[in-house]
Amino acid sequence: MTMKTDYIGKPTNRVDGRLKVTGQAKYAAEFDSPGLTYGFVVSSRIAKGKIKSIDTTEALQLDGVLQVFTHENRPQTAWFDKSYQDEDSPPGSPFRPLYSDEIQFSQQPIALVVADTFEAARYGATLVNVTYEDAPFSTDFEGNREKAYTPEKYKSQPPPDARGDMAAAFASAAMQISEEYTHTSEHHNPMEMHASTAIWEEDGTLTIYDKTQSVQNSQKYIDQIFGLKPKDARVRSPFVGGAFGSGLRPQYQLFLTVMAALELKRPVRVMLTRQQMFSFGHRPATIQKLQLGASKEGKLEAVRHEAFGETSRFEDYAENVVVWQNVLYQCDNVAFDYKLIGLDVYTPLDMRAPGGSTGQFALESAMDELAAASGINPVALRLKNYTEKDQNEDAPFTSKELRECYRQGAEKFGWEKRNPEPRSMKEGHQLIGWGMASGAWEASQQQASAKALLTVDGKLTVSSATADIGTGTYTVMTQLAAETLGLQLEDVSFKLGDSALPDAPLEGGSWTVSSVGSAVTLVCDAIGKRLLKLARKVKDTPFATAGYDEVIFSEGHMRLRSDPSKALAVTRIMRSAEINYLEEEVTSKPAEKQKKYAPYAHSAVFVEVRVDEDFGTIKVTRVVSAIAGGRIINTKTAESQILGGVVWGIGMALEEESLMDTTYGRFMNHNLAEYHVPVNADIHSIDVIFVEEHDEIVNPIGAKGLGEIGIAGVAGAIANAVYHATGKRVRNLPITLDKVM
Amino acid sequence: MSNKQQPETIEKAAPWLPPKQSVRITINGTQHQLELEPWISVLDMLREHLQLTGTKKGCDHGQCGACTVLLDGKRINSCLTLAVMHDGSSVTTIEGVANGEELHPVQQAFIDHDAFQCGYCTSGQICSAIGLINEGKAKTPDDIRDLMSGNICRCGAYTNIFKVVQEALERSKAQ
C-alpha cells in the first residue's frame, strides 16, 4: 500500500527523535578514539594585564599529563588578524588564544593541560602556577557611558538615517514619553558546553567534531590559523546541544583542541566547564533612550531611539537595536543613534534575536507607556500606527499579516475583558496584569547549496553543510525533499553538519529554512526534471509531451497534474532507463525581485502575570503568541520554536542577568545555580497561533524562519503586564521581585 | 630533640594520582567490574569509561539535571556522586530505558509531544520523569512542574515535557 506523501504543513515528528530519546545522538564531546587525550583549560584570574610567569613544572610532574600548552610553548600560528576572523566576526582584532602574555579579559584561556584522563587534566590545571601583572581596567558599563563612541564600521547596519524634524515634532507633540531602558549582559548557556574532539583518521587527516552553528566556518578558521587545507581537516557536527548564537563564531576550545592534536599527534577532546561558558560571547548590556511624541489620539509624530551597547576593547560588536520602529510603526519625524561602550570583557555575540529582543523591549515598553498616558487600548494604539512599509528601506513588505496577529491573539487571550486601570484585577494576594507587545524579525534568504542522490531502490539522500541546533533542520529538510519528489519520509535522509557537504550559510539569523530549504527544493526539482526526461522514454509513457510544470510527484510516482491516475513509479522510471542513481547539486540564491521588498516575520504577544502583593514574586501564567511566519512547514517543530522563544522571553524579562563585579572585572554568577534561566515551574500556559500568511516573494518556499520571532516582543509584553498588575513601570531587566516591591 | 629546629625547605611532594579501586556495578542489566580512581564521578564513568554517552554533562555541579540517571530506581545527578561509592549498585541510563527495540512509553511520548529540541537535556528529562513516576509524590500539575524543575531545558520545551509527564502519571494511575 502506498502512503500519502504530502508532509508540508503537517505536524511531523522529528526524524532524529528516536536517536535523541535513546541517547544515541552523538554530540561533539562524545566521539571516541583509541588513545584519546583530554584537554583542560586554565582561565585567567585577572581581567587585564600580563602573565608575569607561568610555571608548568608541577603539572608536568603529574602522571598522565602529557603537555601543558601556554603562550610560551605554543606552536607557530598565523600572523594576521584576518586569519583569526570568521564569518560572524565584528570589525576589529579577534582574540587569539595563547598568543602572548597579554590578558584582555577575565577567564581568558591561558593554558591547556593535556592528559590521558579527564581527571588528571583537571587536576593538572590546578597545578599550573601563574603570576600576573595587573593593569588598570574597567568593566563598569554604566560608568563608561561618557566614553561611548561611534564605531568606524558597524557589524550589521549603521543606525537608520533620520527623517523629518524629530526635535521640533517632539517639542510640539501633545503626548511625550521620554524614558530610558536597560538590561545587563546575558549568556547563551546552551545545555551542552562548548566542546571539540579531534580524531586522527587512518589516512592521516583530522576529523574534528565541534559544537558549532557552521562546520564550514569552523573549518575555514582552523585552516587559516594552522595553515591546513580543507582536505586535511574535516569538521563535523551532526548534533548540537543548543547554541542560540553561541556557536556562530568558532570558540577557543576549537583552537586549543586542534593545536594540541597537531602538536601531540594524538586525538584530543576539550570540553569547557559551565563556568568557562561565561568566558566568551554574550548578549551585550544595553542602555536605550526612547522618546515618543504623539497626538492626543496616539498617532506617532516623533520617535528617537538611541542605544549604548557593550563591546570589548578589541572588536566593535553592534546589533540592530534601533531599527524596529521603522519596521513596526509609521512615523515621519525620526532619529536614531547607536554608540558603543568599550570594556575589558570578551566581545559580545549574537544571542537569540540579537538587537530585536533588546530594541523591541524598549520600544514596546514605551508604546505601552504612551497607551497608558493617552488612555488608548495598547492594541488600538499599535493599529493606529501600523506601517505598510519598512521605513528603513522605504520598501513594502513581502507579506505582513500583523493585523491578523493582533486580532487572533487578542481574541484567544480574551483581551477585550481587560480593565485598563493598573492594579484593577486581583485574586486574593495576587495582582493580575495583562500586557501585550508587537514583535518583528527579519526573514531573509541567503545563498545555499544542496546535493541530492536518488538511487534505483527509490531512496533519496539530500545533504548540505548546515546545522540542526534543535531547530528541526533534519526534519524540515526531509519533509521538503520527500514532498517534492513524492517519497515517503522513511525513504529520505538528510545529512548536515559536515564541512565536506555543499556550502550552507551559518545556521542563524532565522534563515535556515528559507535558504537551505530553497536549495533542497531546487535540487529535488532538478532530480525531478531528470526523471521526467527518462520517463518520456518509458514504453507507453503518459509523459511523452509533458513539461515539468505538468507533472507532480506523490506516493512514489510521477503523475500527470491533470490526471494523477496517469502515473509511473519513480523506481520503474529508473529501472527502465537502466540507471542506478541520479545525482544533482545546486546553489540557490535569493531572487532579484526580493530586493524591492522587506522580508519580516511578525508577532503579537499577549501575557498574563500574577504578582504576589506581599512578596513581589512574578509568575507568567498565560502567554498567547500569534505569529505571522509565512508558510509553516512543520506545525509541530514550528510550534516548539515559538514555545522556546517565549520561554527565552520570560527568562530575559524576569530572570537572566550576568552580574559583573567591576572590582575584579568578572561575572560573579558564572554557573547555572546563580545565572537563572526558566525551569519547568516557571512556565505555565503558552498558546501559539500561526496566522495564515501567503508569501510568494520572500523565498521559493514561502516560509519565514521561526527561531527568533518567538522571543521578539515577549520581554516588553511581560514588562507591560507587570505595570498593569502593579502600577510600577520597571525599565531595567530582569524584573526581579525587589523592583516591584 | 629541640623544638627549635632550623627552618628548612620542606620538599613539596610531587603530585600523584590516587590509586585505583575495584567497583562492581550493574549498568542497564550488565554487570561491570571496573578499576577506577576514586575521583571519577558516575557521570564520567558512564561517558568516558563505558562509552555510554547518552547521559549528558551540562554543568558537572548538580545544577542542570542533564546527567540524571536512575540509581537503584531513584533519580540522581550522576555528576554529584563518585563511582566508587556505588559498589554493588544498579544504574539505569537512557540506553537502558527502552525494552529492546520497543521504546519506553515516556520516550515515545517525548517524540510525539516534541518535548525536546536540541536533545541534550532529553536523557536526563526522561530518566527524571521515570524517577518522578516511581516516587509517586506528584499529585497536581504544579507538583509536576516543581518536581521536574531539577532538569533545565534551555530550548524551552517545558510545556511539552509537562504534557508527557502528566500523561504518564495518568497512565500509571490507570494501571
Is A180 part of a structural domain of the chain?
no
Does residue A106 share a domain with residue A75?
yes
Radius of gyration of chain B (CA): 21
- Report the CATH fold assignment for B18-96: Ubiquitin-like (UB roll) (3.10.20)
Computed over its alpha carbons, how large is the radius of gyration of chain A?
Answer: 27
Q: Tell whether A640 is within 8 A of chain B (Cβ).
A: yes
Mean pLDDT in residue range A202-221 = 98
State what percent of residues in chain B have pLDDT above 70.
94
B156:A678 CB<8 A: yes
The mean predicted confidence, pLDDT, of chain B is: 94
| Cβ-based neighbours of A644, under 8 Å, separated by 6 or more | A470, A710, B117, B155, B156, B157
Domain of A66, CATH number, reads 3.90.1170.50
Beta-ladder partners of A201: none
Interface touch B56/A241, C-beta < 8 Å: yes
Task: Tell me if A640 and B97 make a contact (CB, 8 A cut-off).
Answer: no
| One domain for residues A585 and A599 | no
C-alpha cell at A183: 538590561
Which of B44, B97, B116 faces A20 most closely, judged by CB atoms? B116
Interface of B with A in 116-145 (CB under 8 A): 116-123, 126, 142, 144-145
Extended beta strands in chain B, E state: 21-27, 30-36, 68-71, 74-77, 90-92
Secondary structure in 3-state letters for A575-595: HHCCCCEEEEEEEECCCHHHH
CB–CB contact A644 B142 (8 Å): no
DSSP label at A345? S
**B98 touches A: beta carbon within 8 Å:** yes
Write down the H helix ranges in A37-131: 57-61, 81-84, 118-126
Decide if A3 is inside a domain.
no
Final residue of a domain: which of A535, A569, A589? A589
Q: Is A380 in a helix, a strand, or coil?
A: helix
**What's the pLDDT at A394?**
96
Q: Give the model's pLDDT for residue A1.
A: 39
* Class of residue B21 by CB neighbours under 10 A (exposed 0-12, middle 13-18, buried 19+): middle
Helices A635-654 and B158-174: crossing angle, nearest 10°? 110
Residue B74 has pLDDT above 80, yes or no: yes
Entry pTM: 0.97
Q: Are residues A581 and A717 in the same domain?
A: no
Q: Who's near A531: CB < 8 A, 6+ residues apart?
A: A454, A558, A570, A573, A574, A582
Mean pLDDT of A666-682: 98
pLDDT at B5 > cutoff 80: no
* Rounded (10°) CA dihedral A464, A457, A536, A555: -80
CA distance B9 to chain A (A): 17
- What was the pLDDT predicted at B139? 95
- Residue A157, domain member (yes or no): no
CATH number at residue A415: 3.30.365.10
The reported pLDDT for the residue numbered B8 is 60
What is the tally of structural domains in chain A?
3
Any catalytic annotation for residue A708?
A: yes
Nearest by CB to A21, which of B66, B111, B146?
A: B111
Q: What does the CA dihedral B6, B9, B15, B19 come to, rounded to 10 degrees?
A: -20
Question: Could you say which of B63, B103, B112 has the minimum Cβ distance to residue A673?
Answer: B63
Cell numbers found for residue A99? 598568543
**Which cell is A21 given?**
530519546
- Please judge whether B97 and A20 are an interchain contact, meaning their C-beta atoms are less than 8 angstroms apart: no
Let me know: does A407 contact A380? Beta carbons within 8 Å. Answer: no
* Cβ <8 Å between A274 and B58: yes
Residue A161 lies in a domain: no
B55 contact A CB<8A? yes
CA distance A147 to chain B (A): 35
Which of A232, A252, A273 is where one domain is finished? Answer: A273
Residues A427 and A452 placed together within one structural domain of the fold: no
Alpha-carbon span B163 to B143, nearest angstrom:
13
C-alpha cell recorded at residue A575:
529501472
Q: Do A679 and B44 touch (CB under 8 A)?
A: no
Confidence of residue A419 (pLDDT cuts 50, 70, 90): very high
Residues of B in contact with A648 (CB under 8 A): 156
Inter-chain residue contact A30 with B48, CB threshold 8 Å: no
- Which residue in B has a C-alpha nearest to residue A23's C-alpha? B54
At residue A741 the predicted structure's pLDDT band, cuts being 50, 70 and 90, is: confident
- Find the residue in A nearest to B119 (Cα): A20
What region, left, alpha or beta, does residue A138 occupy, with left being phi > 0 and alpha being psi -120 to 50 degrees?
A: beta
Query: Which of A313, A360, A320, A312 is closest to A338 using CA atoms?
Result: A320
Regarding whether A437 and A289 lie in a shared domain, the answer is yes
pLDDT of residue A355: 98
For chain B, report the end-to-end CA distance as a whole number of angstroms: 78
pLDDT at residue A375 above 50?
A: yes
Question: Which of A469, A672, A681 has its CB closest to that of B145?
Answer: A681
Whether B55 and A192 lie within 8 Å, measured CB to CB: no
Query: B107-141 pLDDT, tens per residue?
Result: 999 999 999 999 999 999 999 999 999 999 999 99
Q: Is residue A251 part of a domain?
A: yes
Which residues of chain A neighbour B144 with C-beta distances below 8 Å? 680
Please tell me if residue A646 touches chain B, with a CB cutoff of 8 Å: yes
**Closest approach of B5 to chain A, Cα-based (Å):** 28
Q: Note whether A421 and A341 are same-domain residues.
A: yes
Q: Are A439 and A527 in a shared domain?
A: no
Check B156 against A13: CB less than 8 A apart: no
pLDDT confidence of B95, banded at 50, 70, 90? very high
Yes or no: say if A225 and A80 are a contact pair by the CB < 8 Å rule: no
Contacts of A355 (CB under 8 A, 6+ apart): A156, A319, A320, A321, A323
pLDDT of B11 over the 90 cut: no
Q: Supply the ipTM of this predicted assembly.
A: 0.97
Q: Which chain A residues are Cβ-neighbours of B66 within 8 angstroms?
A: 191
Indicate if A505 and A610 belong to the same structural domain: no
Encode A24-50: b = buried (16+ Cβ within 10 Å), e = exposed: ebbbbbbbebeebbbbbbbbbebbbbe
Flag whether pLDDT at B6 surpasses 90: no
pLDDT at B10: 65
Chain A partners within 8 Å of B27 (Cβ): none
Q: Would the pLDDT of A153 be above 50? A: yes
CB-based contact A237:A210 (threshold 8 Å):
yes
pLDDT tens, position by position, A176-185: 999 999 999 9
Contact A349, A356 (CB under 8 A): no
The reported pLDDT for the residue numbered B43 is: 98
- A71 pLDDT more than 60: yes
pLDDT the model gives residue B174:
84
Do A562 and A541 belong to one domain? Answer: yes
**Are A673 and A693 in a shared domain?**
yes
Both A225 and A287 in one domain: the answer is: no
pLDDT for residue B2: 45
Sketch the domain layout of chain B as residue ranges.
Answer: 18-96, 105-174
The residue from A542, A566, A589 where one domain ends is: A589
What value does the mean pLDDT take over residues A160-183? 98
Mutate: best of B21, B57, B70, partner A, most A CBs <10 A: B57
Mean pLDDT of chain A: 97
Interface test with B, best of A22, A687, A708 (most B CBs within 10 A): A22
Q: Residue B32's pLDDT is what? A: 98
Tell me: do A267 and A404 sit in the same domain.
no
The three-state secondary structure class of A257 is helix
> B 19-48 residues with CB below 8 A of A?
37, 39-40, 44, 47-48
pLDDT recorded at residue A4: 79
Residue whose C-alpha cell reads 607561568 in the numeric block: A54
* Set A301, A364, A555, A708: catalytic member: A708
Structural domain boundaries enclosing A260: 31-136+190-273
Q: Cβ of B161 and A677 within 8 Å?
A: no
CATH topology classification for B105-174: DNA polymerase; domain 1 (1.10.150)
Q: Select from B117, B122, B128, B162 the residue whose CB has the most chain A CBs within 10 Å, as the one to mutate to test that interface.
A: B117
Give dist(CA B164, CA B151) in Å, integer: 14
Q: Answer yes or no: is pLDDT of A156 > 90.
A: no
State in Å, rounded, how far the first CA of chain A is from the last one: 65
Confidence of residue B12 (pLDDT cuts 50, 70, 90): confident
